[in-house]
Amino acid sequence: MNFIKTVIKNKKLVWQLGKNDFKNRFASTSLGTIWGFLQPFVFMITYVIVFEYIMKTQSSGEYPYVVWFLPGMSMWLFLNDSIMSASSSIRTYSYLVKKVVFPVDVIPLISTVASSFVSIFLFAVAIIVCIIFGYIPNILVLLYIIFAAYCFIIAFTRFTSAITTLVPDFGNLLGIAMQLFMWFTPIVWNLSMLNGYQTIATIMKCMPFTYLVTGFREAFISENILFEANGLYTIAFWVITIIIFIWGNSIFKRNKKDFADVL
Tens digit of pLDDT for each residue in 40-69? 888 888 888 887 777 767 666 678 888 888
pLDDT band at 199; cut points 50, 70, 90: confident
Q: Other C-beta atoms within 10 Å of 63: how many?
A: 19
> What pLDDT is stored for residue 149 in this prediction?
96
Task: Please tell me which residue, 105 or 38, carries the higher pLDDT value.
Answer: 105
Taking the CA atoms of residue 220, residue 145, residue 191 and residue 159 in that order, the dihedral angle to the nearest 10 degrees is 160
Q: How far is it, in rounded angstroms, from Cα 238 to Cα 245?
A: 10
Is 159:241 a contact under the CB 8 Å cutoff?
no
> What pLDDT is stored for residue 113 in this prediction?
93
| DSSP codes joined into one string, 167-196 | -THHHHHHHHHHHHHHHHSTTSS-GGGGTT
Counts for the chain of helices (H) and strands (E), in that order: 13, 0
The fraction of the chain above a pLDDT of 90, given in percent, is: 39
> What pLDDT is stored for residue 225 in this prediction?
60
pLDDT digits (tens, 9 = 90+) for 120-148: 999 999 999 999 988 888 888 899 999 99
Q: How far is it, in rounded angstroms, from Cα 121 to Cα 124?
A: 5
pLDDT digits (tens, 9 = 90+) for 5-40: 888 888 898 899 888 888 787 766 666 677 778 888
Q: How far is it, in rounded angstroms, from Cα 36 to Cα 78?
A: 12
Is 145:216 a contact under the CB 8 Å cutoff?
yes
Q: Other C-beta atoms within 10 Å of 226: how many?
A: 18
Task: Write down the mean pLDDT value for the chain.
Answer: 86
